[in-house]
Amino acid sequence: MMKNNRRNFLKWTGLAGLGLAGTSFMGGFASAPDYQKSHKQRFNMSGYAAPKIEKVRIGIIGLGNRGPAHLETMRYIEGVEIRALCDLLPERTAAAKKRLDGTIHNPTLYSGNKEEWMKLCEQEDIDLVMITTPYYMHANMAVYAMEHGKHVASEVPAAATIEECWKLVETAERTRKHCMMLENYAYGFFQVLTLNMARKGFFGEIVHGECAYNTSKMGNNFSKTMYWDMWWLRLYASKKGNIYPTHGLGSVCQIMNINRGDRFDYLVSMESNDFMMGAKAKELATKDDFFKPFADKNYRGNINTSIIRTVKGRTIMVQHDATSPRGPHTVIHGITGTKGMALEYPLPPRISKDLSGWVPQDEYDALAKEYTPTIITRMSELTKQVGSSHGGGDLLEDWRLIDCLHNGLPLDQDVYDASAWSSIGPLSEWSVLNRSNSIDIPDFTAGAWEKNLPNMDINLTQGGTTKVLV
| Predicted confidence (pLDDT) per residue in 216-241, tens digit | 889 999 999 999 999 999 999 999 99
Task: Kindly list the distances between the CA atom of residue 353 and the CA atoms of 58, 203, 223, 257, 406, in Å, as whole numbers in the listed order.
Answer: 44, 7, 45, 21, 39
Contact criterion met (CB below 8 Å) for 129 and 59: yes
More confident residue, 360 or 15: 360
Contact criterion met (CB below 8 Å) for 59 and 84: yes
More confident residue, 33 or 229: 229
Question: Is 20's pLDDT higher than 50?
Answer: no
Instruction: Supply angle C-alpha 77, 82, 83, rounded to 5.
Output: 155
pLDDT value for 24: 46
pLDDT value for 10: 60
| Predicted confidence (pLDDT) per residue in 318-357, tens digit | 999 988 887 678 889 999 999 999 999 877 999 999 878 9
More confident residue, 14 or 449: 449
pLDDT value for 392: 84
The letter for the amino acid at 15 is L
pLDDT value for 355: 76
How many CA atoms, within 13 angstroms, populate the side-chain half-sphere of residue 205?
Answer: 6
Residue partners of 13: CB distance under 8 A and separation at least 6? 140, 143
Provide mean pLDDT across the span 63-89: 96
SS (H, E, C) the chain: CHHHHHHHHHHHHCCCCCCCCCCCCCCCCCCHHHHCCCCCCCCCCCCCCCCCCCCEEEEEECCCCHHHHHHHHHCCECCEEEEEEECCCHHHHHHHHHCCCCCCCCCEEECCCCCHHHHHHHCCCCCEEEECCCHHHHHHHHHHHHHCCCEEEECCCCCCCHHHHHHHHHHHHHHCCCEEECCHHHHCHHHHHHHHHHHCCCCCCEEEEEEEEECCCHHHHCCCCCCHHHHHHHHHCCCCCCCCCHHHHHHHHHHHCECCCECEEEEEEEECCCCCHHHHHHHHHCCCHHHHHHCCCCCCCCCEEEEEEECCCCEEEEEEECCCCCCCCECCEEEEECCEEEEECCCCCEEEECCCCECCHHHHHHHHHHHCCHHHHHHHHHHHHHCCCHHHHHHHHHHHHHHHHHHCCCCCCCHHHHHHHHHHHHHHHHHHHCCCCCEECCCCCCCHHHCCCCCCCCCCCCCCCCCECC
Q: How far apart are CA 266 and CA 396, in angstroms?
A: 32
Residue partners of 406: CB distance under 8 A and separation at least 6? 52, 53, 54, 56, 79, 463, 465, 466
pLDDT value for 13: 55
What percent of the chain is modeled with pLDDT above 70? 92
- Report helix angle 374-386 to 393-407, nearest 10: 120
pLDDT value for 345: 84
Provide mean pLDDT across the span 122-130: 98
Question: Is 431's pLDDT higher than 90?
Answer: yes
Provide mean pLDDT across the span 296-301: 96
Confidence class for position 212, pLDDT limits 50, 70, 90: very high
Provide mean pLDDT across the span 289-308: 97
Question: Is 109's pLDDT higher than 70?
Answer: yes
| Predicted confidence (pLDDT) per residue in 136-167, tens digit | 999 999 999 999 999 999 999 999 999 999 99
What percent of the chain is modeled with pLDDT above 90? 84
| Predicted confidence (pLDDT) per residue in 444-465, tens digit | 999 999 999 999 999 999 999 9
Task: Kindly list the distances between the CA atom of residue 468 and the CA atoms of 385, 397, 411, in Å, as whole numbers in the listed order.
Answer: 10, 13, 19
Provide mean pLDDT across the span 384-396: 85
Tell which residue, 328, 278, 327, has the closest CA to residue 301.
278
- What are the chain's domains? 186-373+416-450 (3.30.360.10)
| Predicted confidence (pLDDT) per residue in 157-199, tens digit | 999 999 999 999 999 999 999 999 999 999 999 999 999 999 9
pLDDT value for 325: 81
How many CA atoms, within 13 angstroms, populate the side-chain half-sphere of residue 266?
Answer: 11
Q: How far apart are CA 452 and CA 433, in angstroms?
A: 34
Question: Is 23's pLDDT higher than 60?
Answer: no
Q: What is the pTM of this model?
A: 0.94
Confidence class for position 256, pLDDT limits 50, 70, 90: very high
CB atoms within 10 A of CB 124: 8
Q: What is the mean pLDDT of the chain?
A: 92
pLDDT value for 25: 41
Which range is least confidently modeled, 271-285, 293-307, 374-388? Answer: 374-388
The letter for the amino acid at 99 is R
Q: How far apart are CA 139 and CA 419, in angstroms?
A: 10
